[in-house]
Structure 1
Amino acid sequence: MLFPTLGFGLFFLVVYAITWSLGRSNEWRKIALLLASWFFYGAWDARFVALLFVSAVVNWALAQGIVRDREGADGRRGRALVTLGVVANLGVLGYFKYAGFFLEQLASLLQPLGFGRDLPLLQVVLPVGVSFFTFQAISYLVDVHRRRIPAAGLLDLTLLMSFFPHLVAGPIVRGADLLPQFRRVPVIDRGTVAAALLLIVWGLFKKAVIASQLAGALVDPAFLDPAARSSFDLLIGAYGYAVQIYCDFSAYSDMAIGLAALLGYTFPRNFDQPYRAASLQDFWRRWHISLSSWLRDYLYIPLGGSRKGPVRTYLNLFATMVLGGLWHGASWSFLIWGALHGGWLAIERFWARHRPAGLPRAPRWAGILVTFHIVVLGWIFFRAQGEGEAVAYLAALGAGDWRNTLVTPLSLGLVAFGLAIHALPAHLLTGAAMRLRHHAAPAIAVALGVAILIVDAMRPAGVAPFIYYQF
């Protein structure tokens, strides 16, 4: 089920009605939400509901063992259990996401020796959202081991990993954020409902109108055959993909946050106008915040962070972003994307340390311009089907042919609008929700209904899956 569809809308209305009808019966409420989440996930492939359940049971058992080990003398068993848990979760992720890729690379290496054809052909079905719930499980085990959170009960942990608003494409909601909320009966007020509904409609507009229109009319044709397009087409196509992926992914996060809020739960913010960042470090404080903070806390800092000298800091930044690229998928283009970000982050850190004392700082607008184009360069590798296609795109982009054969006034306007969003006041939506809460409920319902009808009239036919469903 996709969020912006009638089927999901009916599903959510039923879930909303059942959960709030249970009153103060918190355990039954969580059971209802868990069953609804499994139904939601099973709509893609019912076989993988068992994977969710088994993963939750294994991580619950490991956390219980970690807690019991605290009574021991040296805690070695607890460290062994958390290591086992991390390896097991990464093993699940590695098998489903990377086994086929590594066998393919091994076959290409062995082919000159005549052995490549003897390797098995492995076709693995990728469970939707596997990257998100395995990262959630890892952070839970590590946080229990570090005594940041208490071990959760089996129901709460299973619901944490299965909760349908964030299950298939994030945000990566950590146990420290959501488990305390599961332990109390949720409450909701008029302001929360107004803010949640406004966030859902805004997300629906970004996904169904901006992202979908740009994908079909500009981005997909540009990347399909870049050799047949002019440099102008490809330049606007690259900008278009930057807007498309932002509007697509931030729309999912907005809708997930709004849906959870209607059920009484709070998710952390996942995007904060990333294209107004004046450095790549600032970009990663604003883009996919739940992933970037996860990589910082559970990878970059354990690697040593910035505590072991400048050279080690640069290597840690680079390694973290390369692994972050690999998290997105088994592809050399994702590794190149991560390496580009990691290398530029290292350059920024080096320049901050060694910038000549008398040299004036560049104006903020220059930092925004440079950062944005570094990000767009990375998006070309991210969007292309492989590193060869990305290189072909860049070669055609640099050909110097500035005829327009693809860009329409509508697509150009949507690119401009998608970038202009980042210049709006940061809390504009929150302010609108605060004003909306003072109006009568029937008036709010009519206004939101009209807004949904307008979005439906503006969107192209069909509903494409969210980009991050593949991760």
Structure 2
Amino acid sequence: MAFPTLTFAIFFSVVILLSWLLMPLPKYWKPFIITASLIFYGYADYRFVALLLFMVVANQFAAIRIYQVRHNHKKKTLTLATIITTDLLTLGVFKYFNFFIDSFNQLFGGFGGDSNLLALRIILPIGISFYTFQAISYVMDVYRERMLPAKFIDFAVLLTFFPHLVAGPIVRPSEFIPQLQSPRSPRDIPLSPALVLIAAGLIKKVVIADQLGRLSVDQVFGAPSAYSSWDILIAILAFGVQIYCDFSGYTDMAIGIAMLLGFRFPQNFDRPYRAASLQDFWRRWHMTLSRFLRDYLYVGLGGNQKGERRTAINLIATMTIGGFWHGASITFIVWGLLHGIGLAVERYLRMNIKFRLPNMLSIVATFVFVNLVWVFFRSETITDSLNMFVELATSFGEQTLTITPLLILLITLGLFGQYLPGRLTQRSNDLIGAIPVPLAAIGVGIAMALVMLLTSGNGVSPFIYFQF
């Protein structure tokens, strides 16, 4: 059930009305929102509701057990290892089983063997990567004694809460659960900012991201040999804008919808294409995933506390695993690996050679690197990625086929907000909070009208991150 659809609009209209009525009564509101979230999740495939409930029960049981044996380090660690293994095996079976079977068959066949292990073609549950990480962060925080185990119903709300269930943001338990325990009222909901975020997310997704895919990205990445170098260059740039507007558009809607239900989610994007380094980029792009990888993987590997060589290895390992988290494909692994190598090289230059480009050149260099590496993220295979680069380098004499004023306008609109001065951005946020609610509602209405106009007969393209 995607956000920019009539089905979701009807669903959410009912949910928001009942939520506001029940909000002063937590005893009734919590079971209601869990039920609504399970309906939302089960709409695509009801069979995966049982999987989600299993994750809730297993991780809550483990968190309680970790707390009960907190003074026995061996039992405490064994319980943590068991639940994390369970979580990762569940994720692995659904997301990576066929990848490993196919890889084994290809590898064995390459050595002249005769292997044909059966790939089961298991259906990937939407959002499993996100709620698996959400569950792991909960049991890890209990293990590290950063929090006590939550009530079962509170943890169930955290893990199933539909605004962030299928594509984040990945919310820390310490950010979400206290909000469940505080008195909440519909009168305290910031209606105007929530509605503006929803409208902005709809426009980013449907007006910019989907149209960039239709006008350039899908065509060029699908058959790069048919297009000129200029078409390919613009398509690479267009995909960088598309994935930003698609994912940040989803995040804007998720944050706005959560606001209307009385919750604050953490920021997930902060003008990533104005980053002056890769480290800066990952502080601005998918910020909740970045901090998860830092807090629960990079630090667990030793972080930067065990020497420069080990730090470089930790950076590369963390980003490679982060790439693999995105999908069961060698292209995602290469994408993460390249970012890890880039971060390690960048750190080496900063720490040992004291080499620094002027700020503007640093922004340009980071932007170019990030967008070129996106080619691996978008391509189906490594061969497809390499073909894109070959055609980019060798087809400058060909006639351009996809570059139009509308395409350039959409790319410009998608990048425009990235380079506004920080003070102007803050001022804009202050003004949004002062917008009258009826005017904000009109903005949502206009955004919905654009959705219907641009998607009539075609439907809304799935969010890119729904596949993860």
| TM-score interval (norm. to shorter) | over 0.9
Residue identity in the other structure for 1:222 = V
CA–CA distance in structure 2, aligned partners of residues 350 and 436 of structure 1? 42
| Pairing partner for 1:95 from 71, 93, 96 | 93
Percent identity over paired residues: 45
* Residues 273, 418 of structure 2: 8 Å contact kept: yes
C-alpha displacement of 1:435: 3.5
Confirm whether residue 412 of structure 1 aligns to residue 408 of structure 2: yes
| Pairing partner for 1:445 from 436, 441, 444 | 441
Aligned in 2, Cα 1:426/1:37: closer, same or farther, shift over 3 Å? Answer: farther
* 3-state DSSP of counterpart to 1:272: coil
Aligned in 2, Cα 1:261/1:441: closer, same or farther, shift over 3 Å? Answer: closer
The residue correspondences of 1:103-122 to structure 2 (distance < 5 A) are 103-111=101-109, 112-117=111-116, 119-122=117-120
C-alpha displacement of 1:232: 0.3
Structure 2's unaligned 5+ residue stretches are none
C-alpha displacement of 1:431: 4.2
CA–CA distance in structure 1, aligned partners of residues 432 and 335 of structure 2? 41
Confirm whether residue 41 of structure 1 aligns to residue 37 of structure 2: no
| Pairing partner for 2:370 from 372, 375, 382 | 375
Confirm whether residue 209 of structure 1 aligns to residue 204 of structure 2: no
* Residues 173, 267 of structure 1: 8 Å contact kept: yes
Counterpart for residue 420 of structure 2: 424
C-alpha displacement of 1:9: 1.0
Counterpart for residue 51 of structure 1: 51
Aligned in 2, Cα 1:46/1:367: closer, same or farther, shift over 3 Å? Answer: same
Aligned in 2, Cα 1:187/1:463: closer, same or farther, shift over 3 Å? Answer: same
C-alpha displacement of 1:265: 0.4
* 3-state DSSP of counterpart to 1:398: helix
Counterpart for residue 123 of structure 2: 125
Counterpart for residue 468 of structure 1: 465
* Residues 333, 387 of structure 1: 8 Å contact kept: yes
CA offset digits 1:264-289 (Å, max 9, x no partner): 00100000000000000000000000
The residue correspondences of 1:98-247 to structure 2 (distance < 5 A) are 98-111=96-109, 112-117=111-116, 119-189=117-187, 192-247=190-245
CA–CA distance in structure 2, aligned partners of residues 216 and 122 of structure 1? 32
CA–CA distance in structure 1, aligned partners of residues 303 and 44 of structure 2? 39
Confirm whether residue 20 of structure 1 aligns to residue 20 of structure 2: yes
* Residues 191, 434 of structure 1: 8 Å contact kept: no
Residue identity in the other structure for 2:58 = V
Aligned in 2, Cα 1:191/1:184: closer, same or farther, shift over 3 Å? Answer: closer
Aligned in 2, Cα 1:201/1:429: closer, same or farther, shift over 3 Å? Answer: farther
Confirm whether residue 257 of structure 1 aligns to residue 278 of structure 2: no
TM-score (norm 1): 0.95
C-alpha displacement of 1:395: 0.7
Residue identity in the other structure for 1:27 = K
* 3-state DSSP of counterpart to 1:116: coil
Aligned in 2, Cα 1:366/1:258: closer, same or farther, shift over 3 Å? Answer: same
C-alpha displacement of 1:231: 0.3
CA–CA distance in structure 2, aligned partners of residues 430 and 264 of structure 1? 23
The residue correspondences of 1:301-340 to structure 2 (distance < 5 A) are 301-340=299-338
* Residues 273, 426 of structure 1: 8 Å contact kept: no
C-alpha displacement of 1:456: 4.3
Deviates more, 1:390-399 or 1:460-469: 460-469
Aligned in 2, Cα 1:35/1:363: closer, same or farther, shift over 3 Å? Answer: same
Residue identity in the other structure for 2:32 = A
Deviates more, 1:384-393 or 1:105-114: 105-114
Residue identity in the other structure for 2:177 = L
* 3-state DSSP of counterpart to 1:149: coil
The residue correspondences of 1:248-397 to structure 2 (distance < 5 A) are 248-355=246-353, 361-397=356-392
C-alpha displacement of 1:406: 1.3
C-alpha displacement of 1:28: 1.0
C-alpha displacement of 1:451: 4.7
How many residues are treated as equivalent by the alignment?
A: 465
CA–CA distance in structure 2, aligned partners of residues 213 and 198 of structure 1? 21
CA–CA distance in structure 1, aligned partners of residues 416 and 263 of structure 2? 31
* 3-state DSSP of counterpart to 1:44: coil
* Residues 315, 340 of structure 2: 8 Å contact kept: yes
Residue identity in the other structure for 1:11 = F
CA–CA distance in structure 1, aligned partners of residues 13 and 153 of structure 2? 23
* Residues 160, 175 of structure 1: 8 Å contact kept: yes
Query: RMSD of the TM alignment (CA)?
Result: 1.8
Deviates more, 1:106-115 or 1:140-149: 106-115
TM-score (norm 2): 0.95
CA offset digits 1:359-415 (Å, max 9, x no partner): 6x4211100111111111110000000111101111111114253111111011111
* 3-state DSSP of counterpart to 1:38: helix
C-alpha displacement of 1:449: 2.6
